[in-house]
Amino acid sequence: MRTIPHYINGATVSSTGELPVFNPATGEIDARVPVATSALVDETVALARGAWESWRSSSLSQRTNILFSLRHLLVQRTDELAVLITREHGKTIADAKGEIARGLENVEYACGLTDHLKGDFSSQVADGVDVHSFRESLGLVAAITPFNFPIMVPLWMAATALATGNVVILKPSERDPSVSVRLGELLAEAGLPAGVFNVLQGNAATVTQLLEHPGVDAVSFVGSTPVARHVYQVATQHEKRVQALGGAKNHMVVLPDADLDVAADAAINAGFGAAGERCMAISVVVAVGDIADELVDRIAQRVDRLTVGPGDDPASDFGPVITEEHRRRVLSYVTTPDPGVVVVRDGSAMSTASGFFVGACLLDHVTPGTRTYDDEIFGPVLSVTRVANFAAAVALINANPYGNGTAIFTRDGNAARLFSRQVSVGMIGVNVPIPVPVSSYSFGGWKSSLFGHSHMYGPEGIAFYSRAKVVTTRWPLASESQIDLGFPRTR
């Protein structure tokens, strides 16, 4: 059985495998992954900090060339990487390739670092005085990433962090860790110096040590809300800069004037893609007015056409969930539904002795205060909530503790504009069910979906991974020498 290594200082580092890595499509242990010892964490931090001294001084053109080379290699190796992701995560090959493509977008954005890192200059702000600013790297970034996007989220973090002159220790999910090591190897092939990007395998104890380590300057995290809150609290207590993105309960509002076929297609695509294991998945369809029965019927018809199977089977629309434990949790919402909830489609029949499969589930008459509505299920379970009008839909969303993403389906431009302005959510789609911003904007939610003040990638990512210096300069003539203890003035 294979053992997945660490990737430290430009080379794979083997150690005894301790945690099982499953193939979710078979339910069998496919590999083992080690847990970094405390000594190895300390050693990796020291190596990375040593590499920072030269990497922070590298030219912007050198960094750009490496990122361009990485982009080329990722495109070239897409098929290989997609197979590796599917083997450990379970998502379809097509979905894995889509994940790689979205990660590539941020690499391409980071390639424009000569523009992103430009400072400002003001001449003659006072007599003979000029002011300019520039941005510098923070140092060592700990990137802690989730299982559901094992290469996209690392690329969101690492490409920006490396572009701004930081060194990185990536701690990937122990559920699907192989592709992170492959990313390290591709970065080395692209020309990245040894020690600038490292991968430490491990568990919660590994994360805690990184959060508390005095050699770590910043922490980027994506995961569930309870863990995001914990990461933020611990890391900030240890005086680190932190961005911690948490969970979601994303609503898709369908107004009476919407094209119901388009809305039903969108609900299927956004609700069941990647088995619902996306933080931007639509989990609640909000039917406004008297369209609910017809909308539910159209969604149900589409559910019946979905094929669930192994991710490497081209006939599969989506694959298994990540673990047997998670499979049982997801099914509990369907096999023991909340009072009043109507199970329109029951995917529990997909449960088999092998593989962590859950079929597409559709639940109607789901209301706030129930377990189904309040929990982030993170599986192929789509709920329908019925409200009387537009105002009730907005109030429903704003009352939810999460504020990651939401969408509205309508032909009414004014309704869409009001919705965009009134909902307390970070990312909004108008007839777009999964409104993940392009790389020149930034990704992240509000409320309990984000801890810290910075969103991921884009302009906010550049700002998070760097800090500004402002230099005020004057070159006085010798004849101007004088003593003045007054406060500096600009006029």
Q: Which residues does the annotation mark as catalytic?
A: 279
Could you tell me if 364 and 341 are in contact, meaning their C-beta atoms sit under 8 angstroms apart?
A: yes
For residue 424 the two structure tokens come to 């307390």
Q: Which amino acid is at 354?
A: S
| Coil/strand/helix, residue 164 | coil
Distance CA 264, CA 269 (A): 9
Exposure string (b/e) for 449-488, b if CB count within 10 Å is 16 or more?
A: bbbbebbbbbebbbbbbbeeeeeeeeeeeeeeeeeeeeee
Q: C-alpha 217: how far from its chain's center?
A: 20
DSSP state of 198: E
Angle between the N-to-C axes of helices 152-163 and 93-110, in degrees from 0 to 180, rounded to the nearest 10:
10
E strand or H helix that includes residue 110: helix 93-110
DSSP state of 50: H
| Coil/strand/helix, residue 107 | helix
Distance CA 319, CA 22 (A): 14
For residue 372 the two structure tokens come to 């189904």
| Residue 367 neighbours by CB distance under 10 Å | 17
For residue 251 the two structure tokens come to 């609503």
For residue 364, what are the CA distances in angstroms to 168, 212, 374, 385?
Answer: 45, 45, 15, 7
- Structure-token match 């906010």, residue found: 460
Q: Which amino acid is at 68?
A: F
Beta strands in 66-181 (DSSP E): 121-126, 129-137, 140-144, 167-171
For residue 359 the two structure tokens come to 């079929």
Distance CA 122, CA 149 (A): 43
Distance CA 360, CA 353 (A): 18
For residue 422, what are the CA distances in angstroms to 284, 390, 417, 435, 472?
Answer: 18, 11, 9, 17, 43
Picking from 329, 423, 413, the residue whose alpha carbon sits closest to that of residue 376 is 329
